[in-house]
Chain A
């Protein structure tokens, strides 16, 4: 994310990491998740789903911060994110 001023405690904040799951056959290609993802990690894929729409795909997997916004804006119950446990970080 671009900050116009970096928060003083930016190093101490533990940012959660998420994994986006997409149920492709439910998608109707409205593009809301792609447009409103705060990290811009989604994009239309070139493949078609069962109904002939282009479902979104994740282009920056490690950038997801698990904000759930794609999940709550999706009118189709087709996308959701799950938190990844960040046990590996030091």
Chain B
């Protein structure tokens, strides 16, 4: 109590990310134990540490719990329609190529309704940084089965267990032509921050998948408290950089592979366009 009072008087230094968040909207809507807050904080720390002029950074997000991130960042940001974060970001980048555009959204938004946009942005190699918070279900609408829900996991719409196989997101990004692909969990915050920083500086399509718990919708139906999920991230993950993208399924009964998987160079969409269509 006294510390809070002191913080208001300015005797105690502010939170290090206070200048990047809209403090009047905090506490945010995310549930206790939700992983989005940590991934969002890692993203903000990476922006700060990257040394890129913050005035040139834009954050775009779609619909869903993770989509709210655009509303909490004190930078130019846009909360787009469902699944259309990447097309909006593409337009932003083509309109003003000097911008550093970061797309922060969830697995449902980027890979279910926005799946086509994702693969085509990766194919064209548009210079975007896409951060996908993967919480393995549709959290905001009540925990329905998503394209990333693991095989046999229980959700509202699959009470007997999910009969379908989930997407392997790094494999999808790699196959579509992304130039930078990484996966971390919210427990591996330092590595995650470093990778986001690298992804932002990289020209070309960069994709970072972040595994985060959804204790209220996914965790409750699969008998996992948020701390148990983090213990799972600690015990059932293995860090293997440059691993074969086909080995990267999210299946916590085996080890889940984390790390940086792809880091290659390819000419970007704008470079290719200038070469072929803007004859000077």
- Residues on A facing B (Cβ under 8 Å): 21-26, 28-32, 35-36, 47, 51, 53, 69, 71-77, 80, 82
Contacts and interface: CB of A to CB of B under 8 A. Distances in A.
Contacts of A74: 37-38, 41
B27 A72 contact: no
Contact of A24 (B3, B16, B40, B226): B3
Interface string B160-193: 0000000000000000000000000011011001
A77 B37 contact: yes
Given A24-B1, A76-B28, A77-B37, 20 more contacts: A21-B15, A23-B4, A25-B27, A28-B31, A31-B227, A32-B33, A32-B226, A35-B227, A35-B230, A36-B230, A71-B15, A71-B16, A72-B41, A72-B45, A75-B37, A75-B40, A76-B26, A77-B18, A80-B15, A82-B12
Given A35-B227, A35-B230, A82 B13 contact: yes
B5 to A, nearest CB: 10
Contact of A72 (B12, B30, B189): B189
B42 A77 contact: no
Question: Which residue among B3, B42, B193 has the maximum number of chain A CB atoms within 10 Å of its CB?
Answer: B3
Interface in B126-156: none
Nearest to A20: B3
B269 interface: no
B10 interface: no
30 contacts: A21-B7, A21-B12, A21-B13, A21-B15, A22-B3, A23-B3, A24-B1, A24-B4, A28-B33, A29-B32, A30-B226, A32-B33, A32-B38, A35-B227, A47-B1, A72-B38, A72-B41, A72-B45, A72-B190, A73-B38, A73-B186, A73-B189, A74-B37, A75-B35, A75-B40, A75-B186, A76-B26, A76-B27, A77-B15, A77-B17
Contacts of A75: 30, 33-38, 40-41, 186
B270 interface: no
B75 interface: no
Contacts of B28: 76
